[in-house]
Amino acid sequence: MTSQPYAMPAHNWLTESELLFHPEDQSHCHVHPLAGLTQFGPYSQSIVSQVLDPVRVGFIVAHGQGPLARQLLSELERRVAPRERLSYLTEFPGFSRVFKIRVAAGCRGCHIELDEDVDKRIADASDPHLVLAESLTKALSRLEAFRNEFDVIAIILPDHWERGFYGGENEDFDLHDYLKAVTASRGIPMQLLREGRAFAYQCRCSVMWRLSIALYCKAGGIPWKLAGTDPDTAFVGLSYALRHIDVTKPRFVTCCSQVFDADGTGFEFIAYDVDDVHVERENPYLSRIEMRRLMARSLALYQRRHAGRSPKRVVVHKSTPFTSDEVDGCFDAWPTTGGLELLQIQQDVPWRAVQINPPRTRDGKGMPGRYPCRRGSFLQLGGRDVLIWTQGNVPMAHEQDYYKEGKGIPSPLLLSRFAGHGAFDQTCRDVLGLSKMNWNNDGLYDRLPVTMSYASVLARTVKRMPQLDNRPYQFRFLM
């Protein structure tokens, strides 16, 4: 290094994480989520009473758009070939062929078609988002009388309601987040469908895969888990929301803690308001006492799911640095856990990497590849920092190159360790695997691990919840 100060340390590469599609048969594994579902079926099909047959869907639609609901249920049972992402996307065989259960409409009372005057009131109102939100909230209240007759509610939003999807220039309102907050507080799984995206998108195969996985998960199903994980590891994702009750009063902070099993499932979170916190550039930092309280509640959530057993290894992810008080608070809450690891995961980093292919001749030079560096590449920068590429080339069947983003040079994540020890191999493998555990899409991976990708969703939605009860919430209500 003294003779070549510009030289970088050696990088390493992790193979693609496998997904498990059976609770007992470890041979039911595949790296491709859609191919695995087609070949083996969902993970929870072998678990008694995990999801009832059929999945009953209720609907809220605009006046005159009742046929769209019937069209959607009919299309979910059709076989559809892909028209995009041909190197990745597989044929959709139909909902019942994939998930081994049917999807059907709920009872007549679970289908609400709004009055015709709603369209006119939205078109004429100076605050159309308030009119739309009020109309949909009343419809959801009517559906609560039939709660035992449906598993998921689908709300179809026509294009002519678009002016009511967001608030005014100085209003913090988003219809999607508002409805998720309302339904989550009432324990109702909901699927929002934009007319232009769900019914007009040209690749019906992609739409059906995404919608069918979402409906199955929101009904309580588990499509897949991570294979080969340590059952005594727990992952905790931390996020914060700055909330206002009244614009005349100071804002306060809501802490959100998501607890995941080692296989990437769990999907429960707690959220509560705190006072002992200081905010720097919109980033809240907890005191030692508040961090200990937050971690203790997370431990209780894990123990409730595991018959009182504590994990042997705990990994905590958040997007901001851990202060010394936060580190001490974590150790106060997990004193019997020998393997506590605290990681800051940053997205905005200046690092990039280019794949250089070997020279074709002995005296030739390497040339930049046509595809980016491989997903799973990682490079340690120092004693506590490492770069991990969760985006990149993933060769599919017959070694055919596949880059999900399609163009551009992928940017890595920067992992900074504030507690923990040992090599970074397992740390990077955890992040790589958790980036495949977002059940709300049909992609091979996300850029962020599920602990972090859901953090922004939680923070955005929780601050709009009309009432924040001090109890665990299942994340399927916010998907």
Question: Three-state SS across 307-331?
Answer: CCCCCCEEEEEECCCCCHHHHHHHH
What is the value of pTM for the model shown?
A: 0.90
pLDDT score for 357: 83
Q: 3-class secondary structure for 147-211?
A: HHHCCEEEEEECHHHHHHCECCCCCCCEHHHHHHHHHHHCCCCEEEEEHHHHCCCCCHHHHHHHH
Least Cα distance to 220 among 420, 50, 380, 27 occurs for 50
Instruction: Write out the residue limits of the CATH 3.30.420.10 domain(s) in the chain.
Output: 229-477
pLDDT score for 378: 93
CATH number at 51-218? 3.40.50.2300
Q: Which residue type, as a one-letter code, is found at position 234?
A: A
CB hemisphere CA count around 428 (13 angstroms): 26
pLDDT score for 418: 95
The CATH architecture annotation of domain 229-477 reads: 2-Layer Sandwich (3.30)
Q: Which residue type, as a one-letter code, is found at position 111?
A: H
pLDDT in tens, the chain (479 residues): 456 666 667 788 999 999 999 988 889 999 999 999 999 999 988 886 678 889 999 999 999 888 998 999 999 999 999 998 888 999 999 999 999 999 998 888 899 999 989 989 998 888 999 999 999 999 999 998 898 899 999 999 999 998 888 887 777 788 888 898 888 888 899 999 998 888 888 999 999 999 999 999 999 899 999 998 888 888 999 888 776 555 544 455 677 778 888 877 776 777 777 777 777 777 788 889 988 988 888 888 888 888 888 888 899 999 999 999 999 999 998 876 668 999 999 999 999 888 888 887 777 788 888 888 899 999 999 889 999 999 999 987 667 888 888 888 999 999 999 998 888 999 999 999 999 998 888 889 999 998 888 877 777 777 776 666 666 777 788 77
**Long-range pairs for 74-81: beta carbons < 8 A, 24 or more residues apart:** 75/204, 75/208, 76/103, 76/208, 76/211, 76/212, 77/103, 78/208, 80/204, 80/205, 80/208, 81/205
Instruction: Write out the residue limits of the CATH 3.40.50.2300 domain(s) in the chain.
Output: 51-218
pLDDT score for 326: 92
And the tokens for 105? 């409409």
